[in-house]
Structure 1
Amino acid sequence: MHAFRYLLVALCGCGALIAAEHDVVVYGGTSAALTAAIQARQMGKTVIVVSPDRHLGGLTSGGLGFTDSGDKSVIGGLAQEFYHRVWQHYRQPDAWTWQKRAEFGNKGQGHRAIDDETETMWLFEPSVAESIFEAWVAEHDIEVVRDEWLDRESGVAMHGDRITAITTLSGATYRGAMFIDATYEGDLMAAAGVDFRVGREANHEYGEEHNGVQTGVLHHNHHFGERVVPRPIDPYVVPGDPTSGVLPRISTEPPGEFGSADHRVQAYCFRTCYTNDPDNLVPWPKPAHYDPSQYELIVRVFDAGWRGLFGKFDRLPNHKTDTNNHGPFSYDNIGYNYDYPEASYERRREIIAEHRDYQQGLIWFLAHDPRIPADVQAEFNRWGLVRDEFTDNGNWPHQLYIREARRMVGRHVMTENQLRQREPTPEPIGMGSYTIDSHNTQRYITPEGYVQNEGDIGVHLNGPYTIAYGSLVPRRGQAANLLVPVACSATHIAYGSIRMEPVFMILGQSAATAAALALDLEVPVQDVPYDRLRTQLLTDGQVLAATARKEDGHDH
């Protein structure tokens, strides 16, 4: 039986009663969706998770097991509980099926992978993360419906400035008093008419340094500068001859004026899980649409002397990896995702399929093309996909890494200046600490006639920073009962740090806390008293002030 039956809509000025089937409806299957649902349940609310995904956990269970934790001391509440459950799992001897615990070591991102003092563990296999999420929601008897896709055209019912129900493409309707959009794309937020942004803001808009077009800025090692590639790389089919055409995966468009706004979105990829254990290895798959001409550029990169292929084979337990983009030409499918954030479901499926073909094709090229240096190819062929991961999807991750899509323009917009503590952050409801980290947005031809990447930014912080409650809620009058913890209100460059999975879990919990208080107090989410919210967050273990040293990450 649902504890909540009716919500007085005097909040909207209409004085009527609206039947509600759930106190809180969470749309999405991400890690933030699950912490939101668990928190709502722990606060005595009825809750349902309406997930377009069949698998729970988003990227946390979709290959990103080398946690981008930053300063782990500011990860509290349910996020810390998740990593505690990971620690508990790997304390069991039968968790080490392909490797002895003593052989694994204890290397994480800037800190110990296994921290027995705090009883947390920060590296894990994808299947372990998914099993933890499944068990966790089952413990709280949370209803989860899967493969349910919001009807983005007409599936959001509004009464004044309140959402009353959402309807999916299957025709199912889910009524609620509070709604949480925990998708990477911000689909519910957008369908409800809430303001949002796609692409990069100009630097001058919020007084930032690293937003907008960043030509000439070469951070990390994902570019064609001499620090990475010993000599310039020619972009033309016949080197030196522009009339011969341009190699695939290079744009012929001008990159744009430095610091200016644009529509471009940082690149996506799959965080693939590899193994070099022959007893659990699946040979590299050849994609049906394999086209070796798409990878000509990486041949020139190798010919120029680059040898960084294995730089992001980050080790997970049981001889597995979380393998990320690394280098000037790698798994990031630069420039092929610009329309994804607002695309139809059909078009998104096409983009996801193209990303899979591109990435699997690159893998096949590295493993089989005779132009790859023999020593590199021999080492690469010691690896393969993992037989006991993603078993219903050809051992390939079920989640594309949507590093950024829509971003709400809410009551408060988080900016680079607040992350770098140049400006104060109002009403903190959680913390982040990871380097401001955006991947490349375009690959272009320089005025000198060489290929170059643009958009990869890595800006270290002065320590952990706080995230404003206003970044989770729409502007007043747009949606009085909606919170948005993933596609939250931040500029492109600020989102480059906020977008980490532990932070999403933190924000999911905080969003649900605010939703529960808004119900109890019968106020719009914009009017939740911050003192009440802060007290509840601290009671439930959220960290709102830093006390530990900085532990920034890199190359996310």
Structure 2
Amino acid sequence: MKILLSLRALCSRSSLLVLPWLVAAFSPATAKDYQADVIIYGGTSGAVMAGVQTARMGKTVIIVSPDKHLGGLTSGGLGWTDNGHAAGIGGLSLEFYQAVKQHYEKPEAWRQETHEEYRKNKRPYNRNRPGDKAMWVFEPHVAEGIMDDFVAKHQIQVLRDAWLDRENGVEMKDGKITAITTLAGDRFVGKVFIDGTYEGDLMAAAGVSYHVGRESNATYGETANGVQKDRRDHDHFFTAKISPYKIPGDPKSGLLERISAEDPSENGSGDNKIQAYCFRACLTNDPDNRIPFPKPEGYDPTQYELILRVYESGWDETFRKFDLMPNKKTDQNNHGPFSTDNIGANYDYPEASYERRREIIKEHETYQKGMMYFLANDPRVPEEVRKEMSTWGLPKDEFVDNGNWSHQLYIREARRMIGQHVVTEHDCLSKTDVTDSVGLGVYTMDSHQTQRYVTQDGYVQNEGDVGLHIKHPYPISYGAIVPKAAEAKNLLVPMALSASHIAFGSVRMEPTFMILGQSAGTAASIAVERGVNVQDVDYKKDLKPRLLADKQRLVHVPKKKKK
């Protein structure tokens, strides 16, 4: 019956993208029932670490992954780790980065260059000093290989390309999730569930409270939330007076592409907008491993007219965020007033259907690939930029089953749970007394641009970029990964956790997600062992001692000053 309900719900959607699934996905003969102590939905880095920790604690666990590749953004191109105050990273998260270092200590790991040649690149190597026990910069396939090894070593059952039926696929009884069902009809019965997705899909389907967008500053008494038109924390704003109109200075000619006509609202006010997404593109400048940037289907050079005006204003930082990784590759991130961040194109992503999300992801791919092609080929682009861009391309040995393009869009923010404790900028600035720490936040409160608009004096400007620094690592409350007891008694949410928009800008980093994933696995296992709700796990007696035993770092320990 549930399979038929899922089929009806899916068929009611208009997108033709569902058609290839129908024959294989909805056969009652292929649907199966599974059972484990802990069921994890998601294939992200945090989901993997939750699974590993659960297995290490002797509990049965199944990872139900909508992704074909494990590791999320860690294996999807973000090889230039946002490690911030790295001394706060411990447990399985640190273990992962130590495994990266062990990999690159092998001579056979260096295929396009030698280790010694890589060391000559001062900027990346400063992040990987010889004395470090971990390595924070790495190639995507190396990260995925380590994730797969973790899962194999702990004999964790993983079902890939398995999508939660978000409309009918969550069964609940007496405030607890009893089972979840995928679109393929597979049913997973568990005692505790963990939502390990960036989007918080299981959390939302279970009826847990959440927020999408930016709260106002007044909501939690913050300073850096909501609309931030006057902040200039990074170099991602228009510093020159650039006209937003097709004919400069003529509003009647219409706006250039990628500029909104909507009023940006008042400073500090809340809205339903979210910070921009992009792909953390893995590129290479090794001629033997490089595929020239292809012209994507749907390529439209008018989408990039604005960057030509940026160049005309004298801006020359195109390659500032081509952060070098081993073997002549780069983790290429957004930089400047017009770059790879697809500002304003993701507002409906968090709540969108799977079909709509695929459309959004494809549009982001077309935009970013098109931009690379434009910069390398359009004769209007400054010659020095075209010449340098043409030395870069897609690596032949990365993402080989996806056209050498990342399989993971950077979902910087989607849904955020409203749980027992909401992490705010006060937590990040260590102004609150957190007594139930399950890990440390280590990074700046970092939000990318949220909107591109026309100022009152008729020029183009970006809004939303904030970089509010933290002084040292800060504790993250167990209550931030736990729903309110009245909503779900056996669910943990380490990824789409309970945090304000600006605080989430700090906790959303991959090392922190791995930390919280491990802590969620610990709490889930204790809840199973003790037969209690996740809200009733005894922090002092059970959770904290186990976290410390597994080398999680729960409090900031200041460095001793040299005499």
Q: TM-score range by the shorter chain?
A: over 0.9
> Is the CA contact (8 Å cut-off) linking 2:118 and 2:125 kept in structure 1?
no
CA contact (8 A) 2:124 2:325 kept: no
2:426 corresponds to 1:412:
no
- Provide the C-alpha distance between the structure 1 equivalents of 2:498 and 2:219, rounded to a whole number of angstroms: 15
1:548 Cα deviation after fit: 4.8
The one-letter amino acid paired with 2:491 is L
Q: How does 1:21-420 map to 2 (within 5 A)?
A: 21-105=35-119, 112-225=126-239, 231-420=240-429
Greater shift after overlay, 56-65 or 97-106? 97-106
Q: Following the alignment from structure 1 to structure 2, what is the Cα–Cα distance between the partners of residues 174 and 118? A: 42
Q: Summarize deviations over 1:127-186 as a string: whole Å, max 9, x none.
A: 000011111100000000000000000000001110010000001001111100000000
Aligned equivalents of 2:207 and 2:341: distance in 1?
Answer: 31
Q: For the Cα contact (< 8 Å) 2:493–2:520, is it kept in 1?
A: yes
User: Residue 140 and residue 108 in structure 1: after superposition, are their counterparts in 2 closer, same or farther (change >3 A)?
Assistant: farther
C-alpha RMSD of the superposition: 1.5
Deviation at 1:426, TM superposition (A): 3.5
Alignment partners' CA distance in 2, 1:55 and 1:496? 25
Partner Cα separation in structure 1 for residue 261 and residue 248 of structure 2: 16
1:511 and 2:512 are equivalent in the alignment: no
Q: Distance in 1 between matches of 2:195 and 2:324?
A: 32
For residue 484 of structure 1, the aligned residue among 482, 493, 497 is 493
Is 1:543 aligned with 2:553? yes
Question: Which residue is equivalent to 1:534?
Answer: 544
| CA–CA distance in structure 2, aligned partners of residues 285 and 232 of structure 1 | 33
TM-score, normalising length: structure 1: 0.93
Relative to 1, partners in 2 of residues 1:365 and 1:351: Cα closer, same or farther, differing over 3 Å? same
Q: Provide the rounded CA distance (Å) in 1 between the counterparts of 2:533 and 2:403.
A: 45
CA distance in 1, matches of 2:285, 2:166: 43
After alignment, is 356-365 or 102-111 more displaced? Answer: 102-111
- Match for 2:147: what amino acid? F
Aligned to 2:3: none
Matched pairs, number: 527
The one-letter amino acid paired with 1:52 is: P
Three-state SS of the structure 2 residue aligned to 1:21 is strand
Local SS of the residue matching 2:551:
coil
Offset at residue 283 of structure 1 (A): 0.4
* Percent identity over paired residues: 59
Q: Structure 1 stretch 481-490 or stretch 98-107: which is displaced more?
A: 98-107
**Equivalent residues of 2:37, 2:191 under 8 A apart:** yes
**Amino acid across the alignment from 1:537:** L
Asked whether the 8 Å contact 1:40–1:512 carries over to 2, the reply is: yes
Structure 1 position 433, deviation (Å):
1.5
Q: Which residue of 2 aligns with 1:7?
A: none
**Amino acid corresponding to residue 547 of structure 1 in structure 2:** V
Which portions of structure 1, spanning 4 or more consecutive aligned residues, are displaced by more than 6 angstroms? Answer: 106-111
Aligned equivalents of 1:502, 1:107: Cα separation in 2: 24
Structure 2 runs not aligned, ≥5 long: 1-32
> How many Å apart are 1:285 and its aligned residue?
1.0
Verify the 8 A CA contact 2:236 2:465 in the aligned structure 1.
Answer: yes
CA contact 1:29–1:55 (8 Å) conserved in 2:
yes
Give the CA deviation at 1:43: 0.3
- For 1:428, the equivalent position in structure 2 comes to 437
Secondary structure in 1 aligned to 2:73?
helix
Structure 2 counterpart SS, 1:388: coil
Displacement of 1:115 after TM fit?
4.6
- Counterparts of 2:326 and 2:338, CA distance in 1: 28
Aligned partners of 1:377, 1:114: CA distance in 2, in Å?
A: 31
Q: Report if aligned partners of 2:490, 2:533 keep a CA contact under 8 Å in 1.
A: yes
1:383-420 deviation digits (Å, cap 9, x = unpaired): 11111001111110000000000000000000001101
Q: 2:124, 2:323 within 8 Å by CA — same for their partners in 1? A: no
Kept in 1, the 8 Å contact 2:124–2:324? The answer is no
Instruction: Quickly say closer, same or farther: Cα 1:108–1:162, change in 2 above 3 A.
Output: farther
SS at match of 2:356: helix
Amino acid at match of 1:368: N
Residue identity in the other structure for 2:190: G
Amino acid at match of 2:550: D
Asked if 2 retains the 8 angstrom alpha-carbon contact of 1:410 and 1:473, the reply is yes
- Post-superposition CA distance 1:290-322 (Å, at most 9, x none): 001111000000011000100000000000000
- Give me the whole-angstrom Cα distance separating, in 1, the residues matched to 2:122 and 2:134: 12
Q: How big is the shift at 1:237?
A: 0.7
SS where residue 404 of structure 2 aligns?
Answer: coil
Shift of 1:218: 1.5
Q: Indicate conservation of the 8 Å contact 1:267/1:333, yes or no.
A: yes
Change (3 A) 1:535 1:20: farther
Query: CA–CA distance in 2 between the matches of 1:100 and 1:194?
Result: 50
Structure 2 residue 514 is the aligned partner of structure 1 residue 500:
no
Alpha-carbon contact 1:69-1:109 (below 8 Å) kept = no
User: Would the aligned equivalents of 1:71 and 1:549 in 2 still touch at CA under 8 Å?
Assistant: no
Question: Is 283-292 or 114-123 further displaced after alignment?
Answer: 114-123
Evaluate the alpha carbon distance shift between residue 445 and residue 255 of structure 1 in structure 2; reply closer, same or farther with a 3 A threshold. same
Unpaired stretches in structure 1, ≥5 consecutive residues: 1-18, 226-230, 551-556
Question: Are residues 400 and 283 of structure 1, via their aligned partners in 2, closer, same or farther at CA, if it must alter by over 3 Å?
Answer: same
TM-score of the pair, normalised by structure 2: 0.92
Corresponding residue SS for 1:59: coil
